Amino acid sequence: MKRGSKNFVAIVLSLGIVGVAHGIPATTSLSIFDGVTLITITDNSPGDLNPAIGELTLSTNVGVWSLSISTGVTKPVLGAAKTPIMDLVIQASSTNAGTLQYVFSDTGFTPFSPFTTTVSGHVISGAPTTVNYSVYGDASDTLAALTTPLTSTGTIPLPVLTSNSGSFSLSSLYSLSQVVQLNASGASSVSVDASLSVIPEPSGTALTFLGLAFLVVGLAHRKRSPDGVS
């Protein structure tokens, strides 16, 4: 997985794909790599079927794979810079054995609370398939840079429903990248959903109500105490 990720980033950088759409620096991208062919789209660039800012949808073929649904959603549709929420939805079919790697990346995040990652999925039909879901952060705020590993499920067979937790807090802006790698042992059709979300910290208001709740419970307990103290 680590070797594949490094090769993937090297190919992205060598082709100069990221940030070329309309001459505007890209802030969000979705890339798909089958080991031979790399396809990368940026938000609202050619190939992105979704006009919403922060939501990329790609439907195409690559190698032995037919990608009916490949959608990545991030801020401002979901979450914000200090409260990241990212979701990657995949429906793909292969005509033979093969691997497929997705990288969904967004930039401009600020320090945030600990987060959780969840991956769920199953084989709709066909041969056994495995999935590996990892999340990376990059302190230079570079798109699709798989610099610092944050969480990983390791390679596990479908069907699956599993969650991890992690944290990544820096003083400057940074990027986050979701990496999902599929490995089909033969012709297969699969559905996978990989998500990342912040564990919210209690707000001041919430803490106030929590304190009042404890106070009410304490008073009720005192009223019912055997010594009759109220």
pLDDT, tens only, 51-95:
999 999 999 999 999 999 999 999 999 999 989 999 999 999 999
Q: Quick one: 120 and 206 in the same domain?
A: no
CB 192 within 8 A of CB 124: no
pLDDT band at 227; cut points 50, 70, 90: low
pLDDT for res 212? 41
Q: Which domain holds residue 69?
A: 2-199
Q: Quick one: 190 and 212 in the same domain?
A: no
Q: Quick one: 104 and 215 in the same domain?
A: no
Q: Quick one: 18 and 131 in the same domain?
A: yes
Q: Quick one: 28 and 101 in the same domain?
A: yes
Q: Quick one: 184 and 225 in the same domain?
A: no
Q: Quick one: 67 and 93 in the same domain?
A: yes
Q: Quick one: 15 and 129 in the same domain?
A: yes
CA distance 185 to 203: 48
Is residue 172's pLDDT more than 50?
yes
Give the CATH number of the domain where residue 107 resides.
2.60.120
CB 30 within 8 A of CB 70: yes
CB neighbour list of residue 179: distance below 8 Å, 6 or more residues apart? 5, 101, 102, 103, 132, 133, 134, 135, 136, 146
CA distance 152 to 179: 9
pLDDT band at 5; cut points 50, 70, 90: very low
pTM (predicted TM-score): 0.78
Q: Quick one: 212 and 127 in the same domain?
A: no
Q: Quick one: 195 and 210 in the same domain?
A: no
CA distance 52 to 43: 8
Q: Quick one: 195 and 209 in the same domain?
A: no
Q: Quick one: 222 and 161 in the same domain?
A: no
pLDDT for res 25? 60
Number of domains in the chain: 2
